[in-house]
Amino acid sequence: MYLSALFDDFSRSYIQKLIDKWNVKVNSKIISKNLKIENKSEIEINIALEKLDEVLPENLDLDIIYEDENILIINKQAGINTHPVPGEWGKSNTLVNWALFHCKDNLPNIWGIERPGIVHRLDKDTSWAIMIAKNDKMMQYLQNLFKERKNIEKYYIAIVNWIVKNENFKIESYIWRDPNNRLKMTTINPLNPKIAISYGEVLGYIENKFSLVKIKLETWRTHQIRVHLASIGHFIIWDNTYWNHKINTEIKTKYQLKRQALHAYNLKLKLYGKDMNFIAPLKEDMKKIIPKELLEII
């Protein structure tokens, strides 16, 4: 359970297999999976990464926002994983598969061979602009931007339940893993709490029932936008983790939306010594929920 909380890329069953195959040691001793971890224990894990030739190139239908000899920016649709994960069905239909096809052999491996060139992560069911570095120099530069949180900004569009009354708002809290559910993050007594800060602006209302909001992140925690909005009573519609079943069913029936209504539409960063601004247009499944007059101001 402890390792599952630390490494959310890997399923709990995969970690159990690592333990069963003697690939995990605590204080230099091979352990069983029911061992209770004590403070200051030293944990050693031997993880065998996928070989690159086992992750095959695939020509997927992806929208390219920008490309040059150093960087590629994609408007990824919901439903596509960023990188392969352990398991028979986890090696295909990912952004890495497409990058291997599109960029051939011109990709760095700083992050590890299972996700070459991928600079940052995102939820499978969120659509947005994602960057792919095409060489080691650009990879290192973009990594430093994310690490320092300077000269880079990300803005999101979300549709949330109910009317958000404050036109401009700030959410600040501690956030991390829910002690009762490793698949969820929480602001209530989280494990290993980390500070999280989000800024929101209401762009308008839909059917006097939902709010269209723009979000800017000061910190970038896992599920931060989803958890923060849910914590103030305005969860993102069709969010299957932080959700309201009745409203999600209504949205699915009326608009055929099948994923959370969250899209990272604007990426600003310092590139080649210049301030550059990239827009990832909303996907059609979200656009059909938003009135025309609101689409024009996004």
Segment 85-97, tens digit of pLDDT: 666 566 788 888 8
* Final residue of a structural domain among 148, 167, 197: 148
Question: Is 77 in the same domain as 202?
Answer: no
Q: In this structure, is residue 235 part of a structural domain?
A: yes
Question: Is 60 in the same domain as 134?
Answer: yes
* Mean pLDDT of the region 283-295: 94
Question: Is 168 in the same domain as 262?
Answer: yes
* Mean pLDDT of the region 32-59: 75
* Final residue of a structural domain among 116, 148, 180: 148
Question: Is 128 in the same domain as 236?
Answer: no
pLDDT digit string, tens, across residues 179-217: 888 778 999 999 889 999 999 999 999 999 999 999 999
What span, in angstroms and rounded, lies between the C-alpha atoms of 36 and 165?
46
pLDDT higher than threshold 70 for residue 41: yes
pLDDT digit string, tens, across residues 184-194: 899 999 988 99
Q: What is the dihedral of CA 17, 19, 20, 22, to 10 degrees?
A: 120
Question: Is 182 in the same domain as 289?
Answer: yes
Q: Which of 108-117, 130-139, 205-214 has the lowest mean pLDDT?
A: 108-117
Question: Is 140 in the same domain as 230?
Answer: no
* Mean pLDDT of the region 212-226: 94
At 293 the three-state DSSP class reads: helix
DSSP letters spanning 137-172: HHHHHHHHHHHHT-SEEEEEEEEEES----SEEEEE
Q: In this structure, is residue 234 part of a structural domain?
A: yes
Average pLDDT of every residue of the chain: 85
pLDDT higher than threshold 90 for residue 111: no
Count of domains forming the chain: 3
Q: In this structure, is residue 275 part of a structural domain?
A: no
As a 3-state breakdown, the chain gives helix, strand, coil percent values, each rounded to 5, of: 25, 30, 45
Question: Is 120 in the same domain as 38?
Answer: no
Q: In this structure, is residue 274 part of a structural domain?
A: no
CATH number at residue 109: 3.30.2350.10
Question: Is 206 in the same domain as 240?
Answer: yes
Q: In this structure, is residue 161 part of a structural domain?
A: yes
What span, in angstroms and rounded, lies between the C-alpha atoms of 173 and 128?
25
| Widest Cα–Cα separation across the chain | 63
* Mean pLDDT of the region 219-241: 93
- The closest alpha carbon to 200, from 175, 174, 236, 176, belongs to 236
Q: 280: which 2 tokens?
A: 């990832």
Q: In this structure, is residue 60 part of a structural domain?
A: yes
* Domain span at 24: 2-45
> Which one of the listed residues 61, 123, 125, 285 is annotated catalytic?
123
* Final residue of a structural domain among 100, 123, 148: 148
Question: Is 289 in the same domain as 176?
Answer: yes
Is residue 123 among the annotated active site residues? yes
